[in-house]
Amino acid sequence: MSWPRFAGLTFILALLTLALPPQAAQQTDRVTGLARNGDWQLVQANCTECHSALLITQNSGNRGVWQSRIAWMQETQGMAQLDPDVEESILGYLEENYGPRQSARRAPLPAHLLPENPWSQP
């Protein structure tokens, strides 16, 4: 490659690097995909031993939902009891970063948009 071409390419690459938002790489952890806020490392330490954090980041729910998931894992999947302070922090993190999502499920279609039910009784 000729020197002017090389210099030109280097310049363009430098511009592209500068154009990227500086914190983009830091908002989610590169390895687990967890949002890097607050107590994310407690979640990494306590919740990625048996399954990937993807199971967490793909789910959502309010505090009660997260609490019941943890209780379910403790009752049926051999998960150890958490220190109460640790559990509080984890629940706070989960509800804040993976709370109920509007987009998680679409609203049901109104009845007039549904096809006629061929099995409905006359």
Contact characters 30-49, ligand HEC, x per CB under 6 A: ----------------xx-x
The token duo for 43 is 């979640």
Nearby residues of 65 by Cβ (< 8 Å), 6 or more positions away: 100
Shorter beta-carbon distance to ligand HEC: residue 2 or 76: 76
The residue from 7, 12, 55, 104 that contacts ligand HEC (CB under 6 A) is 55
Q: Candidates 32, 60, 70, 95: give the one binding ligand HEC (CB under 6 A).
A: 70
Using the rule CB under 6 A, is 54 a contact of ligand HEC?
no
Beta bridge partners of 35: 28
Handedness of CA 91, 93, 98, 100 (dihedral sign): positive
